[in-house]
């Protein structure tokens, strides 16, 4: 059974860089049928997609965050990582990683739904 | 970006009754070449991550009870819980994956 677990500091100072890791256990990490996504949820609010990365390192980012986001993959550890720079209080949220179904054809990939999700980790931005 | 708007924001339903949640997209999410609607529904219980319920607007995910059903096409979609159970207390979200960035509705809270 596929499991995802987010980890990283729960408190980050304003203007610094938020860094999180998602460890994937079970199969499908190296599959070409999936991407691995980051989604966040501010306390009491809705869901916002941050970005997604494939096993081979191909990335898609939300344009609203693209200038501050970097994702990477460590295939030896079955891990994906998220870095979000220049954080402010508005970046306080529960950060989730999730497997994202995808379809690739002719050099283009199309990302779909998220399933399953990790439990999430709360990151608070505060001095 | 495609804006997803859900209604109502919250819904109180008695046990055993039907619950209906609406989701409207600012642009059609129906891909004409395959006649598929690029829309998913999720359930998020308190303190838990979202769980996929439905993709392609009407296909239940593995293990999802058949009291959950999705319908609609183009810009207007509905999630129906045919007979509400106590464990269905949750917030429900729709998501469009027709175009990037993928976007979610603001959520609908179902209360008993």
Q: Is A103 exposed, middle or buried (0-12, 13-18, 19+ CB in 10 A)?
A: exposed
Residues of B in contact with A46 (CB under 8 A): 93, 104-107
Helix (H) or strand (E) holding B21: strand B19-25
pLDDT-derived band at B74, boundaries 50, 70, 90: very high
What tokens does B58 get?
Answer: 């009407």
Picking from B48, B50, B52, the nearest residue to A47 by CB comes out as B50
CA distance A71 to chain B (A): 16
Residues of A in contact with B100 (CB under 8 A): 60, 111
Which residues in chain B have Cβ-Cβ distances shorter than 8 Å to A116?
49, 51-52
Give residue-wise pLDDT tens across range A56-109.
Answer: 999 999 999 999 999 999 989 999 999 999 999 999 999 999 999 999 988 899
Interface residue of B3, B52, B94, B102 to substitute, partner A, most A CBs within 10 Å: B102
Report pLDDT for A26. 83
For residue A79, the tally of other CB atoms under 10 A from its CB is 18
Per-residue b or e along B34-45, where b marks 16 or more CB atoms closer than 10 Å to that residue's CB: eebbbbbbbbbe
Nearest to B73 by CA among B48, B100, B52, B98: B98
pLDDT digits (tens, 9 = 90+) for B84-100: 999 999 999 999 999 99
Q: What is the largest CA-CA distance in chain B?
A: 41
At residue A33 the predicted structure's pLDDT band, cuts being 50, 70 and 90, is confident
Chain A contact for B109 (CB, 8 A cutoff): no
Q: What is the pLDDT confidence band of residue A27, given thresholds at 50, 70 and 90?
A: confident
pLDDT of residue A125: 98
Per-residue pLDDT averaged across A110-118, rounded?
97
Q: Do B55 and A113 touch (CB under 8 A)?
A: yes
The three-class DSSP label of residue B67 is coil
Residue of A115, A118, A121, A122 best to disrupt the B interface, most CBs of B under 10 A: A115
Q: Do A115 and B93 touch (CB under 8 A)?
A: no
Q: What's the CA dihedral at B6, B101, A80, B47 to 10 degrees?
A: -10
Residues contacting A79, CB < 8 A, separation 6+: A21, A22, A23, A24, A73
Q: How confident is the model at residue A1 (pLDDT cuts 50, 70, 90)?
A: confident
pLDDT at B44: 98
Would you say A83 and A91 are in contact if contact means Cβ atoms under 8 Å apart? Answer: no
What does the alpha-carbon distance between residue B36 and residue B44 come to, in Å, rounded to a whole number? Answer: 25
Determine the average pLDDT of the residues in A39-49: 97
Reading the block at residue A126, the tokens are 């505060």
Q: pLDDT band for position A31 (50/70/90)?
A: confident
């Amino acid at each position: 059974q596929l499991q995802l677990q987010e980890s990283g500091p729960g408190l980050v100072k304003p203007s610094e860089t938020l860094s999180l890791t998602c460890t994937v256990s079970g199969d499908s990490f190296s599959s070409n049928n999936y991407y691995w996504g980051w989604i966040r949820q501010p306390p009491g609010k809705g869901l916002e997609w941050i970005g997604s990365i494939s096993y081979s390192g191909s990335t898609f980012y939300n344009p609203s965050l693209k200038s501050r986001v970097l994702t990477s993959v460590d295939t030896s550890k079955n891990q994906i990582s998220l870095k979000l720079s220049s954080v402010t209080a508005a970046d306080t949220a529960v950060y989730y990683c999730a497997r994202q179904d995808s379809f690739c054809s002719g050099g283009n990939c199309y990302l779909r739904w998220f399933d399953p999700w990790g439990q999430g980790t709360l990151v608070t931005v505060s001095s | 970006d495609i804006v997803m708007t859900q209604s109502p924001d919250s819904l109180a339903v008695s046990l055993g009754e039907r619950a209906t949640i609406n989701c409207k997209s600012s642009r059609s999410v129906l891909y004409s070449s395959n006649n598929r609607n690029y829309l998913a529904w999720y359930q998020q219980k308190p303190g838990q991550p979202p769980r996929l319920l439905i993709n392609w607007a009407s296909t239940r995910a593995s293990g999802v009870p058949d009291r959950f059903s999705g319908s609609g096409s183009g810009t207007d979609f509905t999630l129906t819980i045919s007979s509400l159970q106590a464990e269905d207390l949750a917030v429900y979200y729709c998501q469009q994956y027709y175009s990037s960035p993928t976007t979610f509705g603001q959520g609908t809270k179902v209360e008993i």
